[in-house]
Structure 1
Amino acid sequence: MRAVVVREFGGPEVLELVEVALPEPGRGQVRVRVAAAGVNPVDAVTRAGVLARAGLMTPRAVTGIGWDVAGVVDAVGPGVTGFAPGQRVVGLRDRLDADLGTYAEHIVLDAGALAPLPASVPFEQAATLPLNSLTALQALGLLDLPAGSTVLVTGAAGAVGGFAVELAARRGLRVAALAGEGDETLVRALGAQWFVPRTADDVAAAVRELVPGGVDGAVDAALLGVRALGAVRGRGAFVAVAGGSEPVGLRGIRVANVWITADGPALAGLAALAGEGRLTLRVADTLPLERAGQAHERLAAGGLRGRLVLTP
């Protein structure tokens, strides 16, 4: 089968489309025929060697690329009872130390990393769901705010931020969304009560003008760090979505970072919401597997709304 791998860290040009043996599922595992794979910033920093240099993954002769997958089960290993060949699924590969990622024609995952995919959700849209929506969901879980609380979401028009706005609003939180000026209509449609332009010279002051005293918590999807921390009230909560971007917890603010983990049951709930049209899935464009390098170039250029998706 075909797969995209990295043998030497570098720019998009190091992504290689190679022929590899078809992987076999072991005990408790499921093999998925990939219909669509999401392209995420973590794929780019993995390819570039940033995660290896940071000590988050060990050096390997071959590194698989890709976390998000949507497709069809085509084989199950011993002990798997919740999935069967022919079933539509969506899943997350949350391990970096593997020769194969989701940029491939097939991927083997633990059954606990997969969830059923409703028939109403196209594969290409489903491939934007796992990493970004689970990150948003787990970030909100770390904030642990009761309904009626106020929360700032930075990068609110992005993939993680958009899900964070929508899921926060569903929890009864009142959301202040920080995004580009052209994204105000979008983030309000996702459920934001207040809008803050990302061009604001002083993010904290702009937020506090809308929410006197500061918000109860923040999900920092734009990695603003201390610039966003000032918007949070004393003894509030702050969650960063990438390691190394979290600020010091000044003023008694509880600071945490999301270290994403696959969660099949939670993903099943998110997929069900998407199937009912109550969670917004955004695809920027689809490209064939052999154009993975071009997808990474477009990702680096920025300005995307939604995720690029590879279709093997």
Structure 2
Amino acid sequence: MRAAVVTEFGGPEAVAIADVEVPEPGAGKVRIKVAAAAVNPVDGGTRAGVFGAAPGGAYTGLGWDVAGTVDVAGAGFAAGEAVVALVHGVAKPLGSHAEYVVVDGTAVAPAPATVDAVHAATLPLNALAADQALGLLDPAPGTSLLVTGAAGSLGGYAIQLAAARGVTVTGLARESDEELVRGLGAAFTTAPAAAGYDAVLDAAVLGGEQALPWTRDGGAFAAVIPNTAPPPVRGIRTAALDVRADGTRLAELARLVDDGVLTLRVAETYDLADAPKAHARLAEGGIRGRLVLVP
């Protein structure tokens, strides 16, 4: 089968389409025939060598998000069932940017019923990250939350999930994104007030030096990169996200898509063979929604 991999780290040109063996599922695993797989910034980091190489392999796989159909039944999923999953790991021998992928059954969930596979593929990583980051902050209904990077995929999901819980959300983004951010359910700002928010979710990765001062005394702050929580000051509780696969919660997020709570945004689609072009577009930045590969 074909898979997008890197054998030498570098720029978008380092992404290669390799002919590799179809992975075999072991106990508790599910093999998915990939219909669509989103490209995320973490894939660019993997390609560039930020996380190192897959142990013991000749190449490192790419891709965290997958939507497709169960190819080999297992872990309670039937062959042919439409599913989504998070293929976790920054240095793995094979990711979701392939024709088939094997994942742990606990990472798999039924796909949303109201969208196609291309849109469904944008859900797992960013929606789980937003949900788990909000879990770190635990904002109560009626409290205020600032989301940086509000126009991005993670930020957008965080706005919608928090607003659905009764949290008063403000999104920080470029002026050109005001309509988008307001449409997601947040107030809009380009200049947050100092110590003005009960909680801050730094989806833009601005860092504690810039974003922590927007948190009120005794509030909460969450970073979205592991091990990057700033030291607590002014009684602020700080934490950093280390996203984890969770098929049970992913199924609930898929239901929120069907209920109209979460909006799935696709920026562009590419054939799997054009994965290097997708990485080049990713590197340009300014993407609203996700780039999606289709085998």
TM-score normalised by L of structure 1: 0.91
Counterparts of 2:105 and 2:237 in 1: how far apart (Å)?
A: 34
Alignment of 1:11-26 (within 5 A): 11-26=11-26
- Counterpart of 2:204 in structure 1 is 222
CA distance in 1, matches of 2:198, 2:141: 11
Q: CA RMSD in A?
A: 1.5
Shift of 1:60: 4.5
Q: Secondary structure at the match of 2:234?
A: helix
Residues 133-170 of structure 1 show CA distances to partners (whole Å, capped at 9, x for unaligned) of 10000000000121111111000000100001111101
Choose which of 149, 153, 158 in structure 1 pairs with 2:147.
153
CA contact (8 A) 1:25 1:76 kept: no
Counterpart residue number, 2:68: 71
What amino acid is aligned across from residue 219 of structure 1 in structure 2? L
Unpaired stretches in structure 1, ≥5 consecutive residues: 201-205
- Percentage of identical aligned residues: 55
User: Does the CA-based 8 Å contact 2:170-2:189 persist in structure 1?
Assistant: yes
Runs of 4+ in structure 1 deviating by more than 4 angstroms, as ranges, are: 57-60
What is the alpha-carbon distance in structure 1 between the residues aligned to residue 255 and residue 284 of structure 2? 33
1:195 aligns with 2:192: no
C-alpha separation in 2, matches of 1:74 and 1:157: 35
Contact 1:176 1:207 in 2 (8 A): no
Show the counterpart of 1:258: 241
Deviation of 1:97 after TM superposition, in Å, equals 3.9
Secondary structure in 1 matching 2:221: strand
Q: How many residues align?
A: 294
Give 1:210-289 correspondences, 5 Å limit: 214-225=196-207, 226-243=209-226, 245-289=228-272
The 1-side partners of 2:27 and 2:258 are apart by: 30
Aligned-pair distance for 1:98?
2.3
Query: C-alpha distance in 2, partners of 1:11/1:230?
Result: 35
Q: Counterparts of 1:191 and 1:47 in 2: how far apart (Å)?
A: 34
Q: Which residue of the partner structure matches residue 37 of structure 1?
A: 37
Distance 1:145 1:176 in 2: 13
Residue equivalent to 1:203: none
Q: Does 2:127 match 1:133?
A: yes
Q: Is the 8 A contact 2:141 2:166 kept in 1?
A: yes
Q: In the superposition, relative to structure 1, how do residues 25 and 58 fare at CA in structure 2: closer, same or farther (>3 Å)?
A: closer
What is the one-letter code of the residue matched to 1:235? G
In the alignment, is the contact (CA less than 8 A) between 2:159 and 2:185 conserved in 1?
yes
Distance apart, 1:117 and its partner CA: 0.9
- Residue deviations 1:268-287, cap 9 Å, x none? 01111112222100000100
Task: Give the whole-Å Cα distance in 1 for the aligned partners of 2:42 and 2:91.
Answer: 14
**C-alpha distance in structure 2 between counterparts of 1:277 and 1:41, whole Å:** 26
1:156 and 1:114 map into 2 onto residues whose CA distance is 27
Q: Deviations over 1:149-193 (max 9, x none)?
A: 11110000001000011111011110111011111111111111x
Supply the distance in 2 between the matched residues of 1:222 and 1:216 (Cα, whole angstroms): 18
Give the counterpart letter for 1:217 in structure 2: A
Of 85, 89, 93 in structure 1, the residue corresponding to residue 87 of structure 2 is 93
| Post-superposition CA distance 1:28-56 (Å, at most 9, x none) | 00000000000000000011001229xxx
Distance 1:44 1:153 in 2: 23
TM-score by length of 2: 0.96
Residue 195 of structure 1 aligns with an amino acid whose one-letter code is: F
